[in-house]
């Protein structure tokens, strides 16, 4: 039962990330908003809101700072995990497009499995390897409809996209020891706040984009609450119940969610290869969660 709870948490978190990507795309088209400002705003306010909520519920929000080892890890998670992943992905979208960014970021789970295999000195399961290839194929079909000619690569988009795949690994693996000793919500709250404070030095939240109106404020609020606070809380909570590589693979729900929302609200219809891509992605999720027979 606990494993299914982890799967639900990770899937919901990925879905909320997908919603956030759609809203961010709308914002980029509506006003002259910069990725750095959006990163600062979403992390800073979501971190503050989550810490305030935990404090009101009488949680010891300073528990992660009781040891040097824990303190260093939470700082590393905030900077090299959450901040790095958010910034690199949005920059890949900004300099390229969502298709390029999503495909490159989807390499993250593959890297996670390789890292864990090296650490444990064990060869990944055959099903894991097959699932990796299926997930990559599925995401590719979803965002390109099987047409390589639709991709418009640029050097900046390529570099930031590859870095975002490393970001996926970082925010999946770094917090694992922390959430075994501390509340996952406490961990993610401090990571968001730390990342937001660091980003604020480069992109101050007070520098509002030009033509920023009430609709933009509503969209940013949705990104802060749904696409950041809830998304990261659910994602990090899932690591209590299931293995990191499974959590990483469930992140494939993100592009599926983004395309579904685009279809329902932005008038984009599914093409033939995109429908196949959805089936392939969910097949990969089934395989990665298929239990190994005990000998």
- With a threshold of 0.85, does the pTM exceed it? no
Using DSSP, state whether 293 is helix, strand or coil.
coil
Q: What span, in angstroms and rounded, lies between the C-alpha atoms of 38 and 224?
A: 9
Give mean pLDDT, residues 164-187: 85
Asked if the model's pLDDT at residue 164 lies above 50, the reply is yes
What is the per-residue pLDDT across 64-74, written as a single tens digit (0 to 9) for each? Answer: 998 999 999 99
Query: For the chain, how big is the Rg over CA atoms in Å?
Result: 19
Q: How confident is the model at residue 295 (pLDDT cuts 50, 70, 90)?
A: very low
Asked whether residue 208 carries a pLDDT value surpassing 90, the answer given is no
* Structural contact between residues 108 and 85, judged by C-beta atoms closer than 8 angstroms: no
Domain boundaries defined on the chain = 1-289
Q: Is the dihedral of CA 127, 130, 133, 136 positive or negative?
A: negative
Tell me which DSSP letter residue 182 carries.
S
Does the pLDDT value for residue 252 go beyond 60?
yes
Q: How far is CA 27 from the centre of its chain?
A: 18
Residue 237's pLDDT band (cuts 50, 70, 90): confident
Handedness of CA 180, 181, 184, 189 (dihedral sign): negative
State how far the Cα of 151 lies from the Cα of 184, in Å rounded to an integer.
Answer: 38
Predicted confidence band of residue 228 (pLDDT cuts 50, 70, 90): confident
Question: Contact, 185 vs 237, CB < 8 A?
Answer: yes
Share of the chain above pLDDT 90, in %: 22
What percentage of the chain reaches a pLDDT higher than 70? Answer: 85
What's the pLDDT at 135? 77
Token duo for residue 103: 């495909």
Residue among 93, 83, 82, 103 at smallest CA distance from 173 = 82
Contacts of 260 (CB under 8 A, 6+ apart): none
Q: Which pLDDT band, with edges at 50, 70 and 90, does 200 fall under? A: very high
**pLDDT tens column, 52-103:** 999 998 888 999 998 999 999 999 999 998 899 989 988 887 777 666 677 6
For the ranges 29-43, 161-175, 235-249, the lowest mean pLDDT is seen at: 235-249
- What token pair was written down for 200? 């604020």
Instruction: Report the phi/psi class of residue 122: left, alpha or beta, with left for phi > 0 and alpha for psi in -120 to 50.
Output: beta
- Which of 143-157, 209-223, 236-250 has the highest mean predicted lDDT (pLDDT)? 209-223
- Is residue 221 predicted with pLDDT exceeding 90? yes
Average pLDDT over residues 215-244: 85
Token pair belonging to 113: 């499995």
Helix 253-266 × helix 2-30 angle, to 10°: 50
Higher pLDDT, 178 or 3: 178
Answer positive or negative: Cα dihedral of 130, 134, 135, 137. Answer: positive
Q: What's the confidence (pLDDT) of residue 280?
A: 81
pLDDT at position 100 is 65
pLDDT of residue 132 exceeding 50, the answer is yes
CA 53 from centre of chain? 22
């Amino acid at each position: 039962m606990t494993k299914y709870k982890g799967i639900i948490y990770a899937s919901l978190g990925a879905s909320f990330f997908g919603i956030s990507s759609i809203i961010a795309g709308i914002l980029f088209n509506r006003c002259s908003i910069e990725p750095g400002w959006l990163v600062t705003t979403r992390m800073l306010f979501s971190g503050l809101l989550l810490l305030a909520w935990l404090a009101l519920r009488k949680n010891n929000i300073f528990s992660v700072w009781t040891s040097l080892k824990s303190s260093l890890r939470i700082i590393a998670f905030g900077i090299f995990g959450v901040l790095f992943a958010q910034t690199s992905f949005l920059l890949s979208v900004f300099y390229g497009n969502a298709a390029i960014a999503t495909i490159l970021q989807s390499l993250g789970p593959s890297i996670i499995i390789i890292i864990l295999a090296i650490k444990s000195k064990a060869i990944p399961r055959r099903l894991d390897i097959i699932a990796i290839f299926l997930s990559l194929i599925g995401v590719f079909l979803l965002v390109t409809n099987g047409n390589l000619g639709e991709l418009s690569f640029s050097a900046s988009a390529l570099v930031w996209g590859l870095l975002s795949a490393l970001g996926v690994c970082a925010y999946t693996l770094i917090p694992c020891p922390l959430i075994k000793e501390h509340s996952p919500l406490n961990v993610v709250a401090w990571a968001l706040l730390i990342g937001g404070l660091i980003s604020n030095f480069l992109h101050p939240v007070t520098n509002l984009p030009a033509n920023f109106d009430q609709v933009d404020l509503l969209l940013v609020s949705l990104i802060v609450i749904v696409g950041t606070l809830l998304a990261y809380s659910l994602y990090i909570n899932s690591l209590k119940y299931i293995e990191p590589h499974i959590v990483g693979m469930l992140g494939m729900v993100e592009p599926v969610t983004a395309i579904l929302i685009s279809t329902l609200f932005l008038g984009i219809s599914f093409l033939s290869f995109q429908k196949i891509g959805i089936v392939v992605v969910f097949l990969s999720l089934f395989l990665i969660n298929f239990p190994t027979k005990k000998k």
